[in-house]
Amino acid sequence: MSEENWIEVGSTDSIEEEDLIRFDHQDKTFCVYRLIDGFYATDGMCTHEAVHLEDGLVMDDEIECPMHQGIFNIKSGEALSPPACEDLKTYPVKVDNDKIFIKID
């Protein structure tokens, strides 16, 4: 596993608990979440229509799309509620010295 795929997102205190931030890297965009039990990352765009999930609402382990209320599980990426039916891609996250890193393939 190459270390260079771990990309620094920012410091842990840049995300409030039960919230998320948008993170752009090269031509890709992601959402990075802070849940009660840790940090998680998914693709940034909803799989239903081209809207960024950064404006969505985080509740427990779920992110709800701000446009049409499709719901995804943040940890597994599973689409839980229509109109979303295609799962959201998730990415590994690690915290090192109060900095968040995500592993982009």
Using CB under 8 A as the criterion, which residues of the chain lie in contact with another protein when the complex forms? 16, 18-19, 49-52, 54-58, 64-69, 82-83
The smaller minimum CB distance to another protein, of residues 8 and 19, is found at 19
DSSP 89: P
For another protein, the closer of residues 67 and 104 by Cβ is: 67
Q: Rounded distance, CA 89 to CA 54, Å? A: 15
For the CB of residue 51, give the shortest distance to another protein in the complex, in Å.
4
**CB-wise, 81 or 92, nearer to another protein?**
81
One-letter identity of residue 81: S
Tokens of 64: 């709800």
| C-alpha span between 53 and 30 (Å, rounded) | 9
Q: Which is nearer to another protein, 10 or 66 (CB)?
A: 66
What 3-state DSSP class applies to 53? helix
What's the min distance (Å) between Cβ of 65 and another protein? 7
- Tell the smallest beta-carbon distance from residue 102 to another protein (Å): 22
